[in-house]
Chains A and B, each alone.
Chain A
Amino acid sequence: EVQLVESGGGLVKPGGSLRLSCAASGFSFSTYTMNWVRQAPGQGLEWVSTISTGGTYIYYGDSMKGRFTVSRDNAENSLFLQMSSLRVEDTAVYYCARTYITSSGNSYSNYGMDLWGQGTTVTVSS
């Protein structure tokens, strides 16, 4: 079955750290750009981070820079998000999602986040 399964969420105190994982199965993980997207309780979607197929290109949302680190292990079909200096406002459901990107010369074609996991809940509270 083609799926993404997140894990690692939980309750953490402000200033603490947490490492999220996303296990991919049923597709060629190494050929997909991967993303983390979060959703605070009752709020909309917020892009967190994107990592390219080989991990060369990594991008973060402004409020995550310097605190979050995304990585991937293509041999293990896994995506990770190391979160540190956590704040109350980081409380959210964290989703991983895949994106297929093709390139031709200097142009890229992005096919959107077409597969999402069910999310893992992170609660930052004292």
Chain B
Amino acid sequence: SYELTQPPSVSVSPGQTATITCSGNALPKQYAYWYQQKPGQAPVLVIYKDKERPSGIPERFSGSSSGTTVTLTISGVRAEDEAVYYCQSADRSDSWMFGGGTKLTV
């Protein structure tokens, strides 16, 4: 079955740049979406269509895509960015999938 693979954890110091990857065979053909989830809260969309940022999301969040890997980059990481980040994509037009999540520790 199709999978989206993320590293379980990433750790950075405040002010540094965090990069979180997501790999999947369908990513060259399907857009990716990124969500931030803090403990006890619902997920929040931070990137859509690989690299677009919803209104209200800080500019330090950016997304990129290359082949079978998409990347979420957080520049100038702040303590408030500590959360679990999930990628999401489709393996076909009628089926969505989430990656396993990456815990970002600041």
Contact = CB atoms under 8 A, between A and B. Distances in A.
Interface of A: 35, 37, 44-47, 50, 57, 59, 61-62, 95, 97, 109-114, 116-119
B61 interface: no
Given A46-B98, A59-B94, A118 B45 contact: no
A112 B45 contact: yes
B83 to A, nearest CB: 13
Contacts of B47: 112
B42 A95 contact: yes
A111 B46 CA distance: 11
In which size bucket is the chain B interface? 20 to 34
B49 A111 contact: yes
A112 B42 contact: no
A112 B54 contact: yes
Contact of A44 (B1, B31, B101): B101
Nearest to B97: A47
A116 B42 contact: yes
A45 B43 contact: yes
B23 to A, nearest CB: 16
Interface string B68-102: 00000000000000001010100000111111110
B51 to A, nearest CB: 12
Contacts of A61: 95-96
B103 to A, nearest CB: 11
Contacts of A57: 94
Q: Which 5 A-B pairs have the closest CB atoms?
A: A112-B48, A116-B42, A47-B96, A45-B98, A112-B33
28 contacts: A35-B96, A37-B43, A44-B86, A44-B98, A44-B99, A44-B101, A45-B35, A45-B43, A45-B88, A45-B98, A45-B101, A46-B98, A47-B97, A57-B94, A59-B94, A61-B96, A62-B1, A95-B43, A97-B43, A110-B31, A111-B54, A112-B45, A112-B88, A113-B33, A114-B48, A116-B43, A116-B44, A118-B42
